[in-house]
Structure formats: structure tokens, C-alpha cells
Amino acid sequence: MECFAFLFAFLLTFDNCYPILVSPQTGEESETLQLWVQSALDFVKNQDCNEMLVTTKTECEALKRIPQSKMNLYSTGIGTGRGFRTVLPDSSLGRGGIHDSVLVLDPYPNVNFGHLVLVFYADQGKPKVQCTGREKMYTGDGTCLQLAVKNRCQNDVQKTIRDRHYIRRCQINFMPLVYDKQDRSKAQQLQCRDNVRGFAPCPSEVQRTSNAEASMHCALSSNSRRCVNSDPSQVRSRCIIWEICDQAVLISGGWSDHTIKPWHQENLMNMYNNLRQNGFKQGHITTFFADGQIEGNIAEESSLVYPATHKLSIRNHIAKFCRSSGCVDTLVIYLNSPTKSDGTMLLWDTNQNGIADELETYSVRELISDLQDCLTNHVYIIVDQSYSGVIIDTLSKSSNLLRNVAVYTSGTVNQYSLSNEFTKYWISVNNTRQCMGSVTTDVPPTSVTTSPQFWEGERNCANTTIYGAPCNYAKFFTERELKREYMGCQNLPTALWVMKLSARDSKR
């Protein structure tokens, strides 16, 4: 099913937005911006969806039905005379260059990035003859508005018509970094504007400090959990002899102030609390979040909160659990990051240049490499992010290496993830008694707007609860018995320990 035809009834009723203060504009600037915005909206509504360069035909038609009142507007200053450059995390922009102003329409402010956004350049005082073409429009005040298109996409109309996957790669899925051409620090100049008539209220934003930059340069002698470098020893992942434990890794990259959403932190806190209620010890839940700033129970209870600025530490943390015999019973991995259409997760823009390089992303293939032949009893991956179905599509091709892995995604290969609805559904389930093999198969149609997917590397590998109790017996145990026999950690007799090691060695 093409991405998003299913989404609009939900968007028309979803109204969970939050106010934000933005710098005031003069009346003249506001009128100019209103004129530009109306031209951009008219441009979208008048598009021939058979030839639109930036998205599929199905999503183009759905986009045209979204009311302005459900969109967010972002823009730079107007008439500054400075000129702005624009960059994207996942690719360069054709004809990016320097422009007088930049506008961004976010049609889906209640959806996790990777979703479609529309970027327009505005250049004032251009002759009308220089403002012609399929992606350009000339406004009444002598301004040329131009729809931004990724490199190599402008001249490939016929290819995009034939190949919807190619069109998806041409789609702009993230808020760009727009900075003053003379600003070496590349400070973001886009601001959400709710002083322009007809748009949805701006989302709330957390004023973040430069912790991401500090995490690169801080002295390790400070012994702070914010000071994480690429040395995996800085992330605690202990395995104690004669003890087997449940472990969890929560990853929420966020990428930037404009890309991270208010519900990302809420999702982490909800998952953390849910795991704690099911016996996971606070020292066995490791969280990698944005630039490391987080509030709530996670920050108060656990010292295992790290910024998502160094993916090598994340990868080594997961791989260490998978390479250690007799260390982990159930390994839970929760993923909730901005995502490219190929499933690659954006972590955090550590160098703040707006471009996602290899050290700032975590691909599906890298995840598979970290999990292959994992020596834990069970691996449960819960994925609440856009294009989450790509993980199942890719893992299924390596199932012989991932026999003890089960994956739960918020949607299919082409679907976006809506705010926190899948995570909310997940924590609403009674995971103390629920069998992991039926969590998503029993989803009520009214609970989740998208189409959750389930995959297991080997038949019945998800035949336990989230903390490893057998499905067939969990319902007969009291909560006290479950806590003693299955939750958290268990001390094992020597004979049983040796038997477990032998059994795992034979599997390998």
C-alpha cells in the first residue's frame, strides 16, 4: 500500500500541537510572507500528480487534501539582504546555492520524521523571464518562488513516473538546516511561524544546550555520563558470572532541535517505566537519547543515560551482550529515531553541519551485523519510527543468522509513524502476562492508525513474555513467583550454568 493514503482522516482530527514563542515580524514582513505562503499552497494544489518530482502520485493527491490549518510553517527572516544556504541530512539539494529567504511547509507535524516536507526558495527582484519552469512560480511582489528538489531529480521525470521507489528517494523527508552564508557556526535560521494566518500552532521545542558538542571534547576525567567518546568502555555493559539477566537498550536519536519531537522523550520514559514494571533492573536499561538531555524517571533513577552522539558505543554495547555466553536472557531493543526511507536511523548532528555522515547514522545492516548469531536466549526489537517495515524486510533475508530475534514495527515499508501511538499501544498491553508472539497480532483496529508488523527469525522464538517467562506457564504463576523465577536476574547453579553454555555452543 502506498504511504499515507490511510493517514488523512487521522490528521484531520489530530490536534495535539503545542505553542512556541517566535521572534516577531513587522507588518510588512508578515504580509510578504503571507503572499509567498499562499503562492506556495496554490502551487501544491495545482500540481499534476502524475509529474510531481518530490513525492509519489498517491501521496501528492493526499497532500493536496490536507487543510492549511493542519500544517506548520517555517521560514527565515525576510529582506535581510544576507542570503541563506540550505543543506539536508541525507542528500544535497539541486540549485541549492544562496537564496534571499527559505520557506518550509510541514504537512505532517504530528508524524515522526522521515515524512515529506516541502522546501521553497524565495528570491526577490528577479525578472519574470528568469522564473519559469515546472517547479517555479512568480508572485505579485516580484519574487521568484522555487520548489527545492534534490540533486539528480530535476531531469528524471520519466524515471520517477516509472519507479515509485526512485520517487521516494527524491522526496525531502527532513527539516533542512538553513544558515546565513557568512555564519561559520551554521546556526539554524528557520523558525516556526504561528503568526501567519491559517496554520497550526507550532510544536513545543526544548531549548537544548550544546551538550552534543561538549560530549566530543569533554575530559574523561570529569567522570560524567555526558562525556561519552567512541571508546565502548565508557558505556557500562557488565556480565556477571553465575548470573543471567534481562537487558534493554533504548535508542532515540532525535537528530536536531527542529527534528526531535516532544513525544520522543515521553516515549522513552514510558518504555523505561514499562520495563521496570516487568522486572528489568534500572542498571540494566541503557538509554541513548539525542544530545543526552532528558528528564523524568530515567534521569532520576538511572545513571545509564547517554547522548546518541557516538554510534560506536551503541553498536559495541549491543554486540557485547550478543557475544557473551550466559550473560543475557532477554535483550529488548527499542528504536524511536528520525529515519531515512531505507530504514537508516539518524542519531544526532554532532558537528552541527546539518549533514548525516556515517558516524551519525545507524543503518539496518549495521544493526543486523551487531545481532547476528546473538547468544542471548531472546532478542525483542520494538520499532516505532517511519519506514519501520524496512527492518523486517531486510532481516528476513538474513533469518538464518537471526533465529532468536523477533521484531515488532509500527508500520510497513512505506508507512510513516504517527507521534507516539504505537508506543502507547505497546505499554497499554499487560506485558506481565502477554505472550510476545501475539502482541501485534491482537492489536485492536482503533488503537493504531498504521499497520503494525511482526516477524520472527525462527518459528516460536517469541514464545515468552517480555522478560522471558514461557507463554504456556506464565498465566499459572503468581506475580511473586514470576519475579523470583524469571524477572530481572537469576543466580544459576553451576550444573545448570554449564548445561546452558553447552547448549548455546552446540547452537553455534
DSSP 374-390: --SSEEEEEE-STTTHH
Q: Are residues 290 and 374 in the same domain?
A: yes
pLDDT band at 259 (very low <50, low <70, confident <90, very high): very high
Average pLDDT (182-198) is 90
What does the pLDDT read at residue 37?
A: 93
Centroid of chain to Cα 258: 13
CA separation for the pair 371, 356 (Å, rounded) = 23
Show which of 174, 192, 210 is a domain's final residue: 192
Angle at Cα 278 formed by Cα 343 and Cα 273, nearest 5°? 65
Domain that holds residue 299: 230-500
Residue 268 sits in the same domain as residue 386? yes
Whether 180 and 235 map to the same domain: the answer is no
Q: Between the CA of residue 267 and those of 109, 252, 272, 458, what are the distances in Å?
A: 17, 9, 8, 29
Picking from 167, 192, 217, the residue at the C-terminal end of a domain is 192
Same domain for 149 and 252: no
Q: Are residues 447 and 340 in the same domain?
A: yes
Position 121 scores a pLDDT of 94
Banded model confidence at residue 10, pLDDT cuts 50, 70, 90: very low
Q: How many structural domains does the chain have?
A: 2
Instruction: Summarize pLDDT for 130-168 with one digit per residue, the tens.
Output: 888 888 899 878 899 999 988 777 555 444 444 555 567
Residues 253, 180 share a domain: no
Report how far residue 453's alpha carbon sits from residue 465's, in angstroms, rounded to the nearest whole number: 18
**83, 22: one domain:** yes
234 and 188 together in one domain: no
pLDDT band at 505 (very low <50, low <70, confident <90, very high): low
| Beta bridge partners of residue 330, listed in sequence order | 378
Which whole number is the average pLDDT over 248-258?
Answer: 94
In a domain, 149, yes or no: yes
Q: Which amino acid is at 140?
A: G
Looking up cell 504517527, which residue turns up? 418
How does the average pLDDT of the chain come out, rounded? 82
Q: Is 417 part of a structural domain of the chain?
A: yes
Q: Which of 76-90, 205-219, 396-410 has the lowest mean pLDDT?
A: 205-219
Q: Sign (positive/negative) of CA torsion 42, 44, 45, 48?
A: positive
249 shares its domain with 135: no
Asked whether residue 45 is domain-assigned, the answer is yes
The mean per-residue pLDDT over the stretch 1-15 comes to 44
Q: Shortest CA distance to 102 belongs to which of 87, 120, 90, 88? A: 120
Q: When comparing pLDDT for 5 and 492, which is higher?
A: 492
**Domain contains 199:** no
d(CA 442, CA 158): 43
pLDDT at 506: 52
Overall average pLDDT of the 198-210 stretch: 73
CATH, residue 406: 3.40.50.1460
Q: Is residue 480 part of a domain?
A: yes
Does one domain contain both 180 and 243?
no
Same domain for 131 and 27? yes
- Residue 250 has a pLDDT of 96
Residues 28 and 129 in one domain: yes
CA atoms in the 13 A half-sphere facing the CB of 451? 12
Length of the chain in terms of residues written:
508
CA angle, 375 then 378 then 383, to 5°? 115
The count of C-alpha atoms lying within 13 angstroms of the C-alpha of 235, restricted to the half-sphere facing its C-beta, is: 28
Question: Where is the domain boundary, 192, 222, 245?
Answer: 192
Segment 368-425, tens digit of pLDDT = 999 999 999 999 999 999 999 999 999 988 777 898 999 999 999 989 999 899 999 9
Helix (H, G, I), strand (E, B) or coil at 8: helix
